[in-house]
Structure 1
Amino acid sequence: MSTKHLAAWAVTFAVLLVIDMAWLGFFAKGMYQQAMGELMSPQPRLAFAALFYLLYPVGLLIFAVVPGVEAQSLTRATVLGGLFGLFCYGTYDLTNLAVIRNWPLGLTFIDIGWGALVSGVAAAAGAVTLRWFVSR
């Protein structure tokens, strides 16, 4: 991985982490606790969360950031990032809806929408960073 790609990954990672932590820790915390009830672990398993936050931006780089920058389009990077989030979060939530008893339907739609939004924003930030390195 080149320096420019590592920088784009780092910005994508940081934006994703900060926005997602604000969402999960403050804005939607009560909603998730109420909707999931006993399904929600009292303490998150931080090692698994860390693995997600380290790997997910790699997917955003491969499927959104780099293609967007190659097309010289921040809009393309943002849309592809949003679609990546829609498919990834959709896979998670719809699978849970299919196999976990009492998985909340409303939470499924909110979470998929959130995944699309946060992924699009993080991909856009990564694309701006990568484009800056490419244009130097």
Structure 2
Amino acid sequence: MFQFIKLFLISAGIFLIFDIFWLIFAYNNLYKNHIGHLIGDFNIIPAVLFYIIYISALTFFVIMPSIDKQSIYYVIMAGAFFGLVCYSTYDLTNLASIKNWSLTVTIIDIIWGTFVTSTTATLVYLLVEKFGGK
């Protein structure tokens, strides 16, 4: 359990740093321009719940198995696939069900989710490999 918590905290820190910079950049340059009519007031509780659930799943389904397998290839590919599945679920559901949802946002957001998830998992894996911690 301690290993999971440690990996979760490292993953959360890395993911949040990337995602904060992304959201700062993408808010005005992407989201506001393409789906600004859908944006409401920010609600912190669902955001925190998303990060807890997402990072927990990333840790459990990608990072821990990658460490067990001792495979950089696995962590890169599994992280990318996990990000692709999760972000596609959200964005394609929105594209299918929300009037005037942006195809551009869908494509860019799926690419971002695939990248940030794989990168986060890979960085955590490399940190564990370099500093031990299994």
- The alignment's TM-score, normalised by the length of structure 2, stands at 0.91
| Aligned counterpart, 2:124 | 126
| Aligned counterpart, 2:95 | 97
- Which of 72, 94, 98 in structure 2 is aligned with 1:74? 72
RMSD, aligned α-carbons: 1.2
Matched, 1:9 2:42: no
Residue pair 2:14, 2:120 contacting (<8 A) in 1 also? yes
- Which of 102, 106, 111 in structure 1 is aligned with 2:109? 111
- The alignment's TM-score, normalised by the length of structure 1, stands at 0.90
Residue pair 1:74, 1:127 contacting (<8 A) in 2 also? yes
Residue pair 2:4, 2:60 contacting (<8 A) in 1 also? no
- CA deviation after TM superposition for structure 1 residue 129, in Å: 4.2
In 2, Cα distance between equivalents of 1:24 and 1:120: 18
State which drifts further: 56-65 or 111-120.
Answer: 56-65
In 1, Cα distance between equivalents of 2:92 and 2:45: 24
Unaligned runs of 5+ in 2: none
What do the CA deviations read for 1:17-67 (whole angstroms, capped 9, x no partner)?
110010001x211111111021011x3111110111111111111221111
In 1, Cα distance between equivalents of 2:33 and 2:133: 44
Residue pair 1:7, 1:129 contacting (<8 A) in 2 also? no
Unaligned runs of 5+ in 1: none
In 1, Cα distance between equivalents of 2:81 and 2:72: 14
* 1:99 aligned partner, one-letter code: S
- CA deviation after TM superposition for structure 1 residue 130, in Å: 4.3
State which drifts further: 96-105 or 117-126.
Answer: 117-126
| Aligned counterpart, 2:43 | 45
In 2, Cα distance between equivalents of 1:9 and 1:123: 10
Residue pair 2:82, 2:117 contacting (<8 A) in 1 also? yes
